[in-house]
Chains A and B, each alone.
Chain A
Amino acid sequence: MTAFGKLVRSTAFRLTLVYLVVFAFYAAALIAYFALNTGRLITEQITETVDTELTYLSAQYTGGGLRRLVLIIESRSLRPGSSLYLITAPTGQALAGNVGSLAPGVLDSTGWSETVYRRLDEQEIAEHSALARVVQLSGGFRLLVGRDLEERVRMRSIITAAARGSVALVVVLGLAGGFFVTRRVLKRFDAVTETTQKIMAGDLSGRLPVTGIGDELDRLALNLNAMLERIEALMRGLKEVSDNIAHDLKTPLTRLRNRSEAALRTARSEADYREALESMLDESDGLIRTFDALLMIARAESGQARDNMIVFDAGDVVRGVCELYEPLAEEKGLAIKVETAEPAMIKGNRELLSQAIANLVDNALKYATPAQGAPAEIVLAARREAERVLLTVADRGPGIAEAERARAVERFVRLPQNMSEPGSGLGLSLAAAVAVLHGGELKLEDNAPGLKVVIALPRHADL
């Protein structure tokens, strides 16, 4: 598309055209209204003048007779710029006045008429138009008084010329202004288009130009830039996570591969093969679990699960998980109990939160064999604290040294003392991700002795 074509097809230019038509029409209408009223005013003035003269002349005729009327008319006729006068006898013969010729039939009837005429004193044949009134005088005489309409005609032509001129001016100025504005707007849009094309081509660091005027285009650009900023951050995060996942899933995959290789190399009997296959099945189940946990973490971190949040008592979640794990804890010689006093309402995803608490309890059962002399118990709680709800899982095991706490929450991190137990190293990460999803945080604290995991969530108003 040529630059001109682009300009003409732009929204700004089309808008300009629409406005132009509207304004030209408006100007024309205004002038037409003006012309009409001016014309009417002139006509009114003429009729008034004519009426006044006729009243005066009729009075003179009534008072002084035909002679006096003729004398007055003759003297008036000689004045420059005078009205038109004509007195006719009952025979139709002109007795006095300054009218040379009239359109035929004007004198036949009384009243107003518009007519062409020629003055007596004029040499040229040019005819003018006039507005005249004829009255019947007593004795069969008729008197015509009229005024030239030249003024009205001249006025009309002046207004017409003015109308043409101003409409032309509106069109020219409008088009010029439109081109100017459109080109300016187009230039800014072109800059935006260029940047977006660069971004689409893969350069996420591109940002839209902001002029600093603070107009609507600037505001749009600022918002789009903020959006791009967020997208870039998300993409960076995604890349980091997928790199980590790729790295960390290779470990169990390698193990799986090694086992099948070893089985192929060393297995002798069907029982050997069977055993190898079963262990590989276990390994792949573990891999699937890891995958599920990773997906769940990713989902919690991306905030997708926020759609299904409902308001419920966090105490119910804690009690539910406690009830699920109670027989297992008993089997391991541990008491598991819940300490909840009052309802602790939160808004969240019940399933995810249950899973988070379950992971914490699971960890406590696996890793927190009570130290000698410590009470063999795991205490769950859901407490209100100011504007927060604290969900805690506290054990009496060896705890985690302060220096190691931050690392323990990271994905796939398994503390050296726990390596003997099976696990993916994702349980605590998931619980932390769930806490963040709910607008809260997960903290590891000293239970003196033991570990106390606290999930602090924003409290929801009681129902």
Chain B
Amino acid sequence: MAPDNSLDFPATRVQHTPMRLLIIEDDRDAADYLVKAFREVGHVADWAPDGEDGLALALDGAYDVMIVDRMLPKLDGLSVISALRAKSVETPVLILSALGQVDDRVKGLRAGGDDYLPKPYSFSELLARAEVLARRRGGRGEETSYKVGDLELDRLSHSVKRGTTEIDLQPREFRLLEYLMKHAGQVVTRTMLLENVWDYHFDPQTNVIDVHISRLRSKIDKGFAQPLLHTIRGAGYMIRDGVR
């Protein structure tokens, strides 16, 4: 990998606005770890040890993202989410669960969760997903075209241009680039790509995603002075204009 587009995560994040997070988790150690880790990267995190407290906090405070454990004392995680949604509180929720199976994920999303991460998780994965959720809340929805630096992707005509050069992409490469550009400036993990671009929720033993990325990179970055597609060490990938 070229050294000029490898970055460390989360030290070089381009997340300027700090997030306000609510963590509802009954395991004190796990919660402490999360609160500290989020603070280290500049976010603000509150903690509730059970479902009832969590629900009360969630109804009071304006949070950007909530991280909710599924199994909680007093009121379980899915009930907390359902209660929130019933009161039209649309704060994005990321569900953490020891139950990692596909059905459990579907149940969690059906209850009103926005993303699902099985335990044990890595913090970089959790951070990347939380930031994507928070940004989604900021109103950046589906657009007909995306632009990063001089790279342009038009969703309607399915065309990609870098400067004046037309870039020819395979359908899957197009969807990969589309997802990366939709989350430009944000770290996107391999699992997120696998889930959102390929719709697979299992872990292929070998890192197949890396090869897809390097193919894409050779098409959009090769021969241009400014690389746009960056590898974020220990986390995933990010597309953005210039390194600040």
Residues of A within 8 A of B (CB): 285, 288-289, 292, 295-296, 299, 304-305, 307-308, 320, 323-325, 327-328, 331, 349, 351-352, 354-355, 358-359, 362, 365-366, 423-424, 427
Query: B25 to nearest A CB, angstroms?
Result: 19
Interface residue? B154 (CB, 8 A): no
How far does the Cβ of A230 sit from chain B's closest Cβ, in whole Å? 23
Nearest Cβ distance between residue A244 and chain B, in whole angstroms? Answer: 20
Name the 4 nearest CB pairs between A and B, nearest first.
A327-B211, A355-B202, A328-B211, A362-B205
Cβ of B101: which chain A residues have Cβ within 8 Å of it? Answer: 295-296, 299, 305
A305 touches B103 (CB 8 A): yes
Q: What is the bound-complex CA distance between A299 and B102, given in angstroms?
A: 11
Q: Are B208 and A325 in contact (CB under 8 A)?
A: yes
Q: At the interface, yes or no: B49 with Cβ under 8 Å from chain A?
A: no
On whether the beta carbons of B201 and A351 are closer than 8 Å, the reply is yes
Taking a contact as CB atoms under 8 Å apart, the answer to whether B215 and A327 are in contact is yes
Report B-chain residues with C-beta under 8 Å of the C-beta of A328: 206, 208, 211
- Determine whether the beta carbon of A362 is less than 8 Å from that of B215: no
Q: Can you list 8 A-B pairs with a CB-CB distance of less than 8 A?
A: A296-B101, A296-B202, A320-B200, A324-B208, A327-B208, A328-B206, A331-B211, A349-B102
**B203 is an interface residue with CB less than 8 A from chain A:** yes
Contact B172–A289 (Cβ < 8 Å): no
Bound Cα distance A352, B200 (Å): 10
Measured between beta carbons, the chain A residues less than 8 angstroms from B198 are 320, 324
Enumerate chain B residues within 8 angstroms of A324, measured Cβ to Cβ: 198, 200, 204, 208
**B10 interface residue (CB < 8 Å to A):** no
Decide if B100 is an interface residue (CB 8 Å cutoff): yes
Q: Cβ of A288: which chain B residues have Cβ within 8 Å of it?
A: 120
Contact in complex: B204, A358 (CB < 8 Å): yes
B202–A358 touching, CB < 8 Å? yes
A-B contact sample (12 more), CB < 8 A, given A325-B204, A327-B211? A289-B203, A292-B203, A305-B102, A305-B103, A320-B200, A327-B214, A328-B208, A354-B200, A358-B200, A362-B206, A423-B205, A424-B205
Known contacts A289-B203, A366-B206; A307/B103 CB under 8 A: yes
Bound together, the chains give a CA A325 to CA B215 distance in angstroms of 13
B102 CB contacts on chain A under 8 angstroms: 305, 308, 349, 351-352
Rounded to whole angstroms, the CA-CA distance of A304 and B101 in the bound complex is 11
What is the chain B residue whose CB lies nearest that of A351?
B102
Residues of A within 8 A of B206 (CB): 328, 362, 365-366
CA distance A352 to B101 in the complex (A): 10
Chain A residue with Cβ nearest B206: A362
Least distance between A426 CB and chain B CB atoms (Å): 10
How far apart are the CA atoms of A412 and B212 in the complex, in Å?
30
Query: In the bound complex, how far is the Cα of B102 from the Cα of A351, in angstroms?
Result: 8
Residue of A nearest to B197 (CB): A324
Bitwise, B98-113 to A at CB < 8 A (1) or not (0) is 0011110010000000
In the complex, what distance in Å separates the CA atom of A365 from the CA atom of B172? 21
- B214: chain A residues at CB < 8 Å are 327
B122 — which chain A residues lie within 8 A by C-beta?
285
A294 to chain B, nearest CB (A): 12
Query: B99: nearest residue on chain A (CB-CB)?
Result: A295
Q: Which residue of B lies closest to A324 (CB)?
A: B208
A362 to B103, CA, bound (A): 25
| Residues on B with beta carbons closer than 8 Å to the beta carbon of A304 | 103
In angstroms, Cα B205 to Cα A365, docked, is 11
Contacts of A354 in B (CB 8 A): 200, 202
| Residue in chain A with minimal CB distance to B200 | A354
B-side residues, CB < 8 A to A, are: 100-103, 106, 118, 120, 122, 172, 198, 200-206, 208, 211-212, 214-215
Nearest residue in B to A365 (C-beta to C-beta)?
B206
A366-B205 Cα distance, complex, nearest whole Å: 10
How far in angstroms is the closest Cβ of chain B from A17? 48
A88-B118 Cα distance, complex, nearest whole Å? 118
Nearest-CB residue, chain B, relative to A299: B101
Closest A-chain residue to B171, C-beta based?
A323
Contact A292 B208, beta carbon cutoff 8 Å: no
Interface centre among B103, B118, B208 (most CB of A within 10 A): B208
- B102, B120, B122, B212, most chain A CB atoms within 10 A: B102
Cα distance A288–B117 in the bound complex, in angstroms: 14
CB distance from A365 to the nearest CB of B (A): 7
CB contacts (< 8 Å) of A285 on chain B: these are 122
Q: Which residues of B contact A327 (CB under 8 A)?
A: 208, 211-212, 214-215
CA separation between A427 and B203, bound complex, in Å?
A: 11
Inter-chain CA distance A462–B208, complex, in Å, is: 33
Which chain B residues border A323 with CB–CB below 8 Å? 172
Task: Find chain B residues with CB under 8 A from A308 CB.
Answer: 102-103, 106
Q: How far is the CA of A292 from the CA of B105 in the complex (A)?
A: 14
Closest to A278 in B: B234
Q: What's the minimum C-beta distance from B107 to chain A, rounded to whole angstroms?
A: 11
A356 to chain B, nearest CB (A): 10
In the complex formed, the residue of A with least CB distance to B102 is: A351
Q: Chain B residues with Cβ under 8 A from A307's Cβ? A: 103
**A362, B202: Cβ atoms under 8 Å?**
no
Contacts of B103 in A (CB 8 A): 304-305, 307-308
Q: Is the CB of B208 within 8 A of A295?
A: no
Contact between B200 and A351, CB atoms less than 8 A apart: yes
Cα distance, A102 to B60, chains bound together (Å): 103
- Report A-chain residues with C-beta under 8 Å of the C-beta of B208: 324-325, 327-328
CA distance A366 to B151 in the complex (A): 36
Whether B202 contacts A427 by the Cβ 8 Å rule is no
Which B residues touch A305, using CB under 8 A? 101-103
The answer to whether B211 and A295 have CB atoms under 8 Å apart is: no
Docked Cα-Cα span, A285 to B204, in Å, equals 13
Of B120, B122, B211, chain A has the most CB atoms within 10 Å of the CB of B211
A362→B201 contact, CB < 8 A:
no
Least CB separation from B209: chain A residue: A324
Of chain B, the residue at the smallest CB distance from A288 is B120
B120 proximity list for chain A (CB < 8 A): 288
Whole-angstrom distance between the alpha carbons of A458 and B88 in the complex?
Answer: 46
A427 to B101, CA, bound (A): 17
- Expressed in whole angstroms, the Cα–Cα distance for A349 and B201 within the complex equals 12
For residue A362, which residue of chain B has the nearest CB?
B205
Which one of A288, A308, A320, A423 has the greatest number of beta carbons of chain B within 10 Å? Answer: A288
**A70, B148: Cα distance in complex, Å:** 142
Contacts of A331 in B (CB 8 A): 211
Asked whether A295 lies within 8 Å of B100 as measured between CB atoms, the reply is yes
